[in-house]
């Protein structure tokens, strides 16, 4: 059982929770995730670690209300417990001093991007970060990102904050302006796909962090399998980060909807 010690609403549907997990706080690296479960009937769901405080023995998780399980996590109050929490899982991000890194986050994907931005900066890179969302309310972690980035660009679909337009428009502007050595993208699958198509055109090595459906998160079931470079990989143990130009995004997006009907049914039942 892991206690929630802090909770912050980024928006009505996006919540940051700080959870006691001293061992995970100590051993986690950027790119790692956890699997958690709320309640004895709860489902196991993956969440990327957005930050950690080793001294306090806590990790930060950012959750967006989507279905039954994420709503249950978001509804937990300070002092309440997460029934099960295991990690850190997955391979950590490979951080090197490469030169200039373009970090692209979409929506709630900004949370897992934060520790990666931090680590790239710390390794001596020039970090340009682009945060994108549908509107101003959905832009999260702006101050933290600014702190660790050399430049921060904000893009909103409706122009309610920062520049108006899609993330790829912001990216292309930067790419045309200066040499980018590597690009990292985390966000909705469709966004990562278009980021990847763009950087492929400019031949910029790109890493995407995938948010596949998972059950155990330890390589045991293959629910999270994805085709990378023509080969089947398990996101939980071989990833979650892969060479974006090798990922079969169409298949990945289709697999994300693999339990759509069952999920909707469960959510309807839950709301009653």
Partner 1 sequence: MERSEEYIKNERKQDWRVALQKKIKAKDRMSIERALMAETAPELRITSQRIEVNIGLTQEQALTEASRCMDCVNPTCMEGCPVSINIPKFIKNIERGEILEAASVLKETSALPAVCGRVCPQELQCEQKCFYVEKLNQPAVAIGYLERFAADFERESGHISTPEMVAANGIKVAVIGSGPSGLSFAGDMAKLGYDVTVFEALHEIGGVLKYGIPEFRLPNAVVDVEIESLRRMGVKFITNYIVGQTASLDDLKADGYKAFYVGSGAGLPRFMNIPGENANGILSSNEYLTRVNLMGADSEESDTPVLRGKNVVVVGGGNTAMDSVRTAKRLGAERAMIVYRRSEEEMPARVEEVHHAKQEGVEFLTLTNPIEYIADENGRVSQMKVQKMELGEPDSSGRRRPVPVEGSEYILDCEVVVVAVGVSPNPLIPNSVEGLEVSKWGTIEVVKDKMQSSIPELFAGGDIVRGGATVILAMGDGRKAAKNMDIYLTEQYLSN
Sequence ranges of the binding site for FAD: 62-64
Half-sphere exposure (Cβ direction) of 177: Cα atoms closer than 13 Å: 9
Sign of the dihedral through C-alpha 15, 191, 250, 246: negative
200-224 core/surface letters (b: 16 or more CB in 10 A; e: else): eeeebebbbbbbbbbbebeeeeebb
**Closest separation between CB of residue 244 and partner 1, Å?**
18
Rounded to a whole number of angstroms, the minimum distance from the CB of residue 211 to partner 1 is: 16
Nearer to partner 1, 98 or 223 (CB): 223
Which residues does the annotation place in the binding site? 62-64, 221, 224, 236
Residue closer to partner 1 by CB (options 42, 165) is 42
Closer of 161 and 267 to partner 1 (Cβ): 267
Q: How far apart are CA 64 and CA 107, in angstroms?
A: 9
Q: What is the dihedral of CA 112, 130, 150, 207, to 10 degrees?
A: 60
DSSP class per residue in 73-110: HHTPPTT-EESEEEEEESPPP-----SEEEEEEEGGGH
Binding site for partner 1 (CB under 8 A): 23-24, 26-27, 37, 39, 41-44, 68-69, 72, 83-89, 215-216, 218-223, 225-227, 232, 237, 251, 254-255, 257-259, 262-263, 265-266, 269-270
Rounded-to-integer distance, Cα 199 and Cα 138, Å = 25
Least Cβ distance, residue 157 to partner 1 (angstroms): 27
Q: Helices 167-177 and 189-201 sit at what angle, rounded to 10 degrees?
A: 20
Nearer residue to partner 1 within complex by CB, 46 or 87? 87
- Least separation, in Å, of the C-beta of 219 and partner 1? 5
Q: Are β-strands 182-186 and 206-209 bridged in parallel, bridged antiparallel, or unpaired?
A: parallel
Considering beta carbons, is residue 11 or 83 the nearer one to partner 1?
83
**DSSP 8-state symbol, 123:** T
To the nearest whole angstrom, how small is the minimum distance from the Cβ of residue 255 to partner 1? 6
Tell the smallest beta-carbon distance from residue 256 to partner 1 (Å): 10
Token pair for 123: 């390794």
- Residue number with CB closer to partner 1 (48 or 199): 48
Contact between residue 60 and residue 16 where contact means Cβ atoms under 8 Å apart: yes
Shortest Å, Cβ 12 to partner 1: 22
- Tokens at residue 147, please? 């702190």
Token reading at 39 = 């309640």
Q: Residues at the annotated binding site for [2Fe-2S] cluster?
A: 221, 224, 236
Residue with Cβ nearer partner 1 (5 or 223)? 223
């Amino acid at each position: 059982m892991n206690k929630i010690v802090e909770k912050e609403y980024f928006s009505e549907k996006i919540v940051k929770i700080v959870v006691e997990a001293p061992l995970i706080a100590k051993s986690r690296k950027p790119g790692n995730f956890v699997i958690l479960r709320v309640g004895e009937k709860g489902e196991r769901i993956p969440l990327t670690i957005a930050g950690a405080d080793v001294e306090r023995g806590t990790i930060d998780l950012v959750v967006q209300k989507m279905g039954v399980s994420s709503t249950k996590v978001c509804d937990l109050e300070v002092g309440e417990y997460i029934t099960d929490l295991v990690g850190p899982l997955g391979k950590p991000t490979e951080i090197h001093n490469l030169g200039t890194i373009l970090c692209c986050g979409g929506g709630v994907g900004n949370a897992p991007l934060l520790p990666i931005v931090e680590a790239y900066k710390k390794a001596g890179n020039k970090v340009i970060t682009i945060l994108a969302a549908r509107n101003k309310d959905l832009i999260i972690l702006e101050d933290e990102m600014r702190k660790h980035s050399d430049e921060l660009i904000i893009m909103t679909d409706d122009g309610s904050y920062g520049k108006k337009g899609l993330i790829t428009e912001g990216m292309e502007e930067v790419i045309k302006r200066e040499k980018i050595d590597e690009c990292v993208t985390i966000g909705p699958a469709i966004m990562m796909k278009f980021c990847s198509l763009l950087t492929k055109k400019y031949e910029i090595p790109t890493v995407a962090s995938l948010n596949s459906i998972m059950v155990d998160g330890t390589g045991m079931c293959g629910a999270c399998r994805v085709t990378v470079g023509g080969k089947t990989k398990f996101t939980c143990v071989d990833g979650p980060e892969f060479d974006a130009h090798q990922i079969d995004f169409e298949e990945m997006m289709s697999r994300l909807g693999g339990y759509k009907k069952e999920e909707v049914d469960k959510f309807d039942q839950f709301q009653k």
